[in-house]
Amino acid sequence: MKSKFILVAGACLLDLISSGVQATVVVGTYSFKDTELVNRVLSFRGNGMYDGSNYVNPVRSPDNITDTGPISAPLTYLQTANFDGYRDVSMGLEFGQSRVINGNGADIALFFLSDQTSNEVNVAIGAQLKAVSFADVFDSNTVQQVANGVLSDGDICNNVRLMVAEVELDDYGFSADQILTDPLSVEMIQKDSEISVSIAMVGAVNATVIPVPGAVWLFGSGLIGLIASARRRS
């Protein structure tokens, strides 16, 4: 059974701001560089998840949750289905270009389509598994945010309710400014027979860029020197 998307009145989900090579995704009061989005699906437990057209394995078809490459609107999603092997699933996720850091308030934000208050989502970091709570997404003017253009079984749905679940690393025993090194495991359990768990995007609210290893800089400077030398000889 496919998801029943909950329609509400509100503003469009996404603003996309180009900034040189990078782009910025703005969702309500949240803002992420493309490097601050989950970009790897490391593992999956379950038979598959629905992506609006097909049932897929997120490890082999990660684009609907990672938004890799040129930033796509986070109205792409992966969702559970109400039958065995599909209603209780989990994904191992990784931030491949940034490191999540334990800062003030929420450190990670998980975005979902439709009303998730009857379903269950748990986030595991290391050996600790904790349930998350859901809230509607608002902008700075308290306008509720929604998703438009959501593909589902050949139909385009607009004004789909948008919800967020926040993760604070404090709750997992992290000290101030400690960096997350473990993958993020997200367990999604569909308890509502009509409404699927539909996860759209995961972003790092507090993040630090992964430094480029010194060897890479040395290789790059050496390569530039070789190119310059070749030009002089020619």
Tokens, residue 83? 């039958």
Three-class DSSP labels, 30-90: EEEEHHHECCEEEEEECCCEECCCCEECCCCCCHHHHCCCCCCCCCCCEECCCCCCCCEEE
Q: How far apart, in whole angstroms, are the C-alpha atoms of residue 196 and residue 198?
A: 6
Q: How far is CA 18 from CA 33, 104, 140, in A?
A: 10, 27, 21
pLDDT in tens, 136-174: 999 999 999 999 888 898 899 999 999 999 999 999 999
Percent of the chain with pLDDT over 70: 80
CB 75 within 8 A of CB 113: yes
Q: What's the whole-model pTM score?
A: 0.86
> What is the band of 126 on the pLDDT scale with cuts at 50, 70, 90?
very high
Q: How far is CA 165 from CA 121, 137, 172, in A?
A: 9, 10, 15
* Domain boundaries, position 223: 11-233
* Position 225 in a domain: yes
* Position 1 in a domain: no
- The pLDDT of residue 173 is 96
Q: How far apart, in whole angstroms, are the C-alpha atoms of residue 30 and residue 101?
A: 16
* Position 56 in a domain: yes
> What is the band of 111 on the pLDDT scale with cuts at 50, 70, 90?
very high
**Percentages helix, strand, coil for the chain, rounded to the nearest 5?**
15, 40, 45
Structurally, the chain folds into a number of domains equal to 1
Q: How far apart, in whole angstroms, are the C-alpha atoms of residue 64 and residue 53?
A: 11
- Using DSSP, state whether 175 is helix, strand or coil: coil
Phi-psi region of 65 (alpha: psi -120 to 50; beta: other; left: phi over 0): alpha
Q: How far apart, in whole angstroms, are the C-alpha atoms of residue 204 and residue 90?
A: 19
* Position 6 in a domain: no
CB 37 within 8 A of CB 46: no
Look at residue 212 and tell me whether its pLDDT is greater than 60. no
Q: How far apart, in whole angstroms, are the C-alpha atoms of residue 61 and residue 77?
A: 11
pLDDT in tens, 82-94: 999 999 999 999 9
Tokens, residue 3? 């998801």
- Using DSSP, state whether 234 is helix, strand or coil: coil
Q: CB-hemisphere CA count at 13 Å for 2?
A: 14
